[in-house]
Amino acid sequence: MRNALILSLVTLATPAAADPAITRVVEDSFDNVAFALESAIVGRGLVIDHLSHVGEMLERTKEDVGSTVTVFTQADVFSFCSAAVSRQVMEADPANIQYCPYGIFLYETPDAPGSVTVGYRDYPEGEMQAVEDMLADIVAEALG
């Protein structure tokens, strides 16, 4: 019985495979895509809570962690929320707070200059589809 309990706890503690991201690739400069993405977010009346410069951080710290690899030429994550969509999904299930704020990432890699990947998380089926639809609309608007 005790071994079954321990096995159950270990199984629950094992991280699930990450959900795949939904991405689109566009041939343009990183700055143009970032500007279009920011404009599409702000144009909907949303406030960008945070802009994470992930690429800069990884480049700045690569030697500190014993690496020589440049992962991105540039990479950012826009974090924001929508009062209307957040209320909708959290009224359906308060545990959906775990997904807020929502993020859209964009990056360019050294082996594909001029090719920018833009994406967001693939959210669970059900009420979180409203968030995924909002993010898809923002990305579609930004990428034209």
> Residue 32 maps to which CATH number?
3.30.310.70
**Number of independent structural domains in the chain:** 1
What band does 14 get if pLDDT is binned at 50, 70 and 90?
A: very low
Q: In what order do the strands lie in the sheet with 74-81?
A: 21-27, 115-121, 102-108, 74-81, 47-52
Q: Note the pTM of the prediction, 2 decimals.
A: 0.84
- Look up the domain containing 54 and give its range: 18-143
Per-residue pLDDT at 93? 97
What band does 18 get if pLDDT is binned at 50, 70 and 90?
A: low
What band does 17 get if pLDDT is binned at 50, 70 and 90?
A: low
Q: Is residue 40 part of a domain?
A: yes
Per-residue pLDDT at 130? 97
Dump pLDDT digits (tens) for 33-49: 999 999 999 999 999 99
Torsion angle defined by CA atoms of residues 97, 98, 100 and 106, in that order, rounded to the nearest 10 degrees: -160
Q: Is residue 76 part of a domain?
A: yes
Mean predicted lDDT score pLDDT of the chain? 90
